[in-house]
Chain A
Amino acid sequence: MLIFTLKRLLSLGLSLIAASVAIFFVVEIIPGDPARLMLGINATQDAVDALRTQMGLDQGLLARYWLWASGLLQGDFGISYTYRVPVSEMVQGRVWVSLPLALYALLLSTAIAFPIGIIAAAKRGSWADWLVMGGTQLGVAIPNFWFAMLMVSILAIKYGLFSAGGFPGWDDPLAALKALTLPAFVLALPQASILARVMRSSLLDTLSEDFMRTARAKGRTARGAMVHHALRNAMIPVLTIIGLQFSFLLAGAIIIEKIFFLPGLGSMIFTAITQRDLIVVESVVMLLVFAVILVTFLVDITYALVDPRLRRRA
């Protein structure tokens, strides 16, 4: 297991280097001089050159890559072309909205999906199964911006249970959590629907395995066999989906962030793209890539914890 973890860590490191090279050079290929862009078309060539030197743009590609990458490692993401503030500062404020929102949504999604997926599989063909299958179909089909507006108009505007949007900051954790609840729920619903369906079909596959019959022959009740033998075996596809969903929730919540006026990473990257603030795009994309690779690493480790057969391969 130790060797497996070390091998996975090595592959994590290599993926990060590969991703950083790819991102750096893609952004480099994009035409346009950032210094010229920052100073405007009326700036003198001297001023532009001075800025280029200051930003390190006059150095070679490799040197600039090294400067950027080593800066990332020290938490220095460079300075935003548009706002002239360190990107790390901009990101810091945003991450503490997006990350909790993603985790919160993921928590809700699994909390909804696990029980209903398990019930649907255990009572296959019953009314409960039909209800879950129908409900999740609806959950996948409903566009989340529409559902978000519906929630806002009912729960926030009509009954005043939640605020319609905005984020009060983490000084008051309870208020912050309350502000994130509605968007997290809206984000979680389609994810939960997908996850519940995956859970159901994975469990159904496992229930028809021979070792389930063995468990019954040993004297396990139907429920005991499900809890002690089926669940852990059914987890592999479920873990895969959870890993994918987290990555999506972290960066893909732009519309929900916009609807609820949340200052998250999604809306920041959107603004940065429209303003051609490439250093912000570059840094935030790198950050997201890092998050996704880290989640993949964690999912891999969990696979091996769940299934001993995977520990030998790496």
Chain B
Amino acid sequence: MSLLEINGLKLGIGAAKILHEVSLSVDAGQITAVIGESGSGKSMTAYCVNQLLPRGSRTKGDVQFNGHNMLVLDEPTLCQMRGRDIGMVFQEPMTALNPVQTIGAQVAETVLIHGAASKPEALKIARETLNRVGLPEAQFPLSRYPHELSGGQRQRVVIAMAIALRPKLLIADEPTTALDVTTQAQIMDLLKRLVQEDGMGLLLISHDLGVVADVADHIVIMRKGEVVEQGATAHIFKHMQHPYTKALFEASSHKPDREAQPLDTPILKVKKLIRDYTLPRKSLFGPVPKFRAVNGVSFTLNKGESLGLVGESGCGKSTLTRAILGLEGIQGGSISINGVEVKAGHTVPRTLRRNMQVVFQDPYGSFNPRHKVARLVSEPFHLLENPPKGTTRKTAISEALTAVGMHADDADKYIHEFSGGQRQRIAIARALIIKPELIILDEAVSALDVSIRAQILDLLAELSDKLGLSYLFISHDLSVVRAITDRVMVMKSGEIVEEGATEAIFQTPQHTYTRALLAAAPSLEDLMQ
């Protein structure tokens, strides 16, 4: 008998059927990973275990945990079990902690709710648990507040809360999705260590095969509320049966075909670029303190080339993008676009901006929900002196939409009528409409499911072949950068630490930081061999 055994679990919320006959199990001291794309019901399966389901949920079937059927327990009993027998770690460490309470109070709370110890003892347990998850007392006293910690540190606090009472089962819902690769590797190591030390069962929910493949003993693949395939990790990797599993594996390491050869004419030249941010004054009359977000960055991007820029959050890659796009002025160095130079103290002017367009990460947040697609897509026209009107305008909109694989009729719809992948296509259509030579893709595929991501990468490759576009591809995801770029730059603390042909950098990285990044990044290809 396993620690957790789910049999024939069905879940409906309102009229929607979310789960159909889900069965899986987690053994003590083992890690079961549930993999699926958004809408596969993987998170809802987890919430069925500790019964933290949204209102109006109906469940059927059998969720046996430690001798109880969780589906029939009453709320008071469930409250006693949550936190004590079942711990939970969430996706968003930035918001999962109460901002107005100290980390000590929040970890001790787990102990106090269950009356497991007196207050001083609970604080002692909190201290020990925080030490265990790698937050030593010297830097992380109990009196720290969440806003004083980084994302990875906050996730450690969340884990400490979940394991303070040494539960039998830990549920981790996308615990590293919001974190940088090196932090991600550390958190996964921590979870693995805790599972071994405490003999816990871990139900690990993720969309990323690469992340879990290293650590999971057992893999469950879900799609549309159903389990399509499951088995021991090594077995799944060698003998996967279901076409969806195969498609998922293929999409995760998808490499689009690219034919276009970059030319030798530079379109974008950045020389010793410096971007300073002013910080709040420390004293009334002292100098205004500054933070140098980009420090002497130089590079050239040629016509038809796809250049990658990788780095962890806070390395300055977004600041660099904003300067190139002319959203902010520069404090040192210069930016040349098609040979026209913009010097320090200036902002990239409008006339140059029409050569560049940008696609952002969030396909949900980067559109005004009250405008129709036609208006959204034609927005960049304001950069032109004589924007097209009437039928020319309509034709331009239709052309841009068909170029990205959408229908010309979609122009009359609103953005909420489209899925995430379709929205990102529309975002690319918006970038294409004024026929720019350079498109900056700022984490443009990071929020997409792997199968959609593969389609968008194909689309980008096709467009660059057809239109001779140049890309500046910014991402924290190394496998994507490897798939779509000719050259890559690695950025750390505002500086480019390494630059070179993509394959060369991935095969033989020179800088220690690049090596650390590559070592931390999960790579499916290595695992498949």
Residues of A within 8 A of B (CB): 209-211, 213-221, 224, 228-229, 232-233, 306-309, 313
Contacts and interface: CB of A to CB of B under 8 A. Distances in A.
Interface in B107-154: 109-110, 113-114, 145, 147
Given A213-B90, A309-B147, A219 B113 contact: yes
A214 B96 contact: yes
A216 B52 contact: yes
B147 A219 contact: no
A81 B172 CA distance: 76
B95 A219 contact: no
Given A217-B162, A219-B113, A233 B90 contact: no
Nearest to B93: A210
Contact of A220 (B79, B96, B100): B79
Nearest to A230: B98
Nearest to A311: B145
Interface of B: 50, 52, 75-76, 79-84, 87-88, 90, 92, 95-101, 109-110, 113-114, 145, 147, 158, 161-162, 280
Given A308-B147, A309-B147, A219 B96 contact: no
Contacts of B76: 221
A5 B366 CA distance: 40
Given A217-B162, A218-B83, A218-B161, 8 more contacts: A213-B52, A214-B98, A216-B82, A218-B113, A219-B81, A229-B98, A308-B147, A309-B99
Question: Main SS of chain A's interface residues?
Answer: helix
A314 B92 CA distance: 28
Contact of A233 (B80, B84, B100): B100
Contacts of A228: 109
Contacts of A217: 50, 52, 82-83, 87-88, 90, 162
A210 B92 contact: yes
Among A211, A219, A221, A228, the one with the most B-chain Cβ atoms within 10 Å of its Cβ is A219
B50 A220 contact: no
29 contacts: A210-B95, A211-B95, A214-B97, A214-B98, A215-B98, A215-B109, A217-B87, A217-B90, A217-B162, A218-B82, A218-B83, A218-B110, A218-B113, A218-B161, A218-B162, A219-B80, A219-B110, A219-B114, A220-B79, A220-B83, A220-B109, A221-B75, A221-B79, A229-B98, A233-B100, A307-B100, A309-B100, A309-B147, A313-B280
Given A214-B90, A221-B75, A232 B100 contact: yes
A2 to B, nearest CB: 16
Going nearest first, the 6 A-B pairs with the smallest beta carbon separation are A219-B83, A217-B88, A210-B95, A218-B83, A219-B82, A211-B98
Contacts of A232: 100
Nearest to A308: B145
Contacts of B80: 219
A232 B52 CA distance: 23
Nearest to B97: A211
Contacts of B52: 213, 216-217
